[in-house]
Structure 1
Amino acid sequence: MALLELHNVHTYYGGIHALKGLSIQVNQGEVVTLIGSNGAGKSTTLKTICGQTRAREGKILFDGKDITQMRTHEIALLGIAHVPEGRRIFPKLTVRENLEMGAFSVTDKNLIEEGIERAFRYFPRLKERINQKGGTMSGGEQQMLAIARGLMMKPKILMLDEPSMGLAPILVEQIFDIITELNKEGMTILLVEQNANQALSVAHRGYVIQTGEIILQDEAATLLANPQVREAYLA
């Protein structure tokens, strides 16, 4: 069953045509990855889905509902969590305060505490840093915090933008292990990732985007074996 659908979406930055008739689908329970070179439109796709950038043409459906013109906070409340490129945690807030900000619409304190404990189950290191300010932590710890914050509202879909960027290989492995664990527990994930090999290794399906257009789509394993993909993105 399709949870998220983009149909012929066109997005512009001023006069720049960033997405040119983009159509993708993410089914319930899948990990779907969007790969492509820098500037291909990967981050723009996520921003358009969550309303930070408006689609000028086309339609975006989430759980059967047209969200194309909805506001960002309304989209978030429907169950779409966006973990942006560059982490963008609140550097002057503690780990606990960052997590609480992720549950901005939750009024039940017990549910907030449950969310924090769930985050610590996935990311035990954050529990050790609970009172530490986010800006003083390592890049890997900040990425863990950004993902944990995204999980605080128990979203229906988690959109991750370049979660491995700038991380040491051992931390990259940890992040992708967590992505796999989240999916095994039922989380639907749309993954934008510079590390195409890692992304296709954990995904069910993938799309290749080039200058705002989908040029290839297939099962992840098939894309991994595709000579064109290997030469362009896996070399």
Structure 2
Amino acid sequence: MALLELENIHTYYGGIHALKGLSLSVNQGEIVTLIGSNGAGKSTTLKTISAQVRARSGSIRFQGTDITRLKTHEVALQGIAHVPEGRRIFPKLTVRENLEMGAFSLKDRKQIEEGMERVFRYFPRLKERINQKGGTMSGGEQQMLAIARGLMMKPKILMLDEPSMGLAPILVEQIFEIIREMNREGMTILLVEQNANQALAVAHRGYVIQTGEIILQDNAQNLLSDPQVQEAYLS
């Protein structure tokens, strides 16, 4: 049974039909990537899963339970962490305070501190800047903070939306190596990424989305070598 499964999802923005019968699945321990051009529906897929946008029809199942009609905070409490495009940290809060906001579902102070130590293993730079306000940090550091905040709730699946956007190449490599490390340690990841080469290099499987529909799915290596994918997304 898939950890996360979307079946025949239709999502609208007003009269705009954004997702048109989209179906996909993510198994425990996988990195699955969703690639496509701007406006194809990648971010909308993640927003629909996390209930920021409501699916008009279709079903979303997580660990075998239908979560289609849950509210955003209820989806998060199921163990689904969404790190949105554009980072969206709290710029006036310190690194510590941002991380504490990510741990809203944890009541035990010891658990919160243990969570911080866990994310500092992935992002030691954040420990060095624990009392620095998020808005004064570099773009790369803010992206690290956004991912770390998502990890604070100890999610069962981490959804990352464009984690490399706006970053220098050396930081992109660093972010993707951290994604690999998290996965090696058991984290299931659903990755939306404009950089299809990087995404397919780190993923186990991938889906290609075009105007709200899945047009191709395969293991990541096959997609990397697919002429259609190479011409459209890898050139």
TM-score, length-scaled by structure 1: 1.00
| Residue 2 (structure 1) aligns with | 2
Q: Residues 173-215 of structure 1: CA distance to partner in whole angstroms, max 9, x if unpaired?
A: 0000000000000000000000000000000000000000000
Whichever residue aligns with residue 172 of structure 1, its letter is V
| Residue 189 (structure 1) aligns with | 189
| Residue 98 (structure 1) aligns with | 98
| Residue 82 (structure 1) aligns with | 82
Per-residue deviation at 1:105? 1.5
C-alpha separation in 2, matches of 1:170 and 1:125 = 15
C-alpha separation in 2, matches of 1:55 and 1:134 = 33
Whichever residue aligns with residue 104 of structure 2, its letter is F
C-alpha separation in 2, matches of 1:218 and 1:163 = 22
1:145 equivalenced with 2:145 (yes/no): yes
1:215 equivalenced with 2:215 (yes/no): yes
Number of paired residues?
235
Whichever residue aligns with residue 67 of structure 1, its letter is I
Q: Residues 30-60 of structure 1: CA distance to partner in whole angstroms, max 9, x if unpaired?
A: 0000000000000000000000000001000
C-alpha separation in 1, matches of 2:218 and 2:178 = 24
C-alpha separation in 2, matches of 1:81 and 1:122 = 17
What are the residue-to-residue correspondences of 1:102-121 with 2, within 5 Å?
102-121=102-121
What are the residue-to-residue correspondences of 1:114-133 with 2, within 5 Å?
114-133=114-133
Secondary structure, counterpart of 1:163 in structure 2: coil
C-alpha separation in 2, matches of 1:134 and 1:153 = 19
C-alpha separation in 2, matches of 1:74 and 1:116 = 23
Secondary structure, counterpart of 1:2 in structure 2: coil
| Residue 159 (structure 1) aligns with | 159
| Residue 52 (structure 2) aligns with | 52
TM-score, length-scaled by structure 2: 1.00
User: Percent identity at matched positions?
Assistant: 84
What runs of 5+ residues in structure 2 fail to find an aligned partner?
Answer: none
Whichever residue aligns with residue 218 of structure 1, its letter is D
Whichever residue aligns with residue 78 of structure 1, its letter is Q
What are the residue-to-residue correspondences of 1:36-75 with 2, within 5 Å?
36-75=36-75
C-alpha separation in 1, matches of 2:185 and 2:214 = 29
C-alpha separation in 1, matches of 2:204 and 2:122 = 22
C-alpha separation in 1, matches of 2:106 and 2:220 = 36
Per-residue deviation at 1:11? 0.1
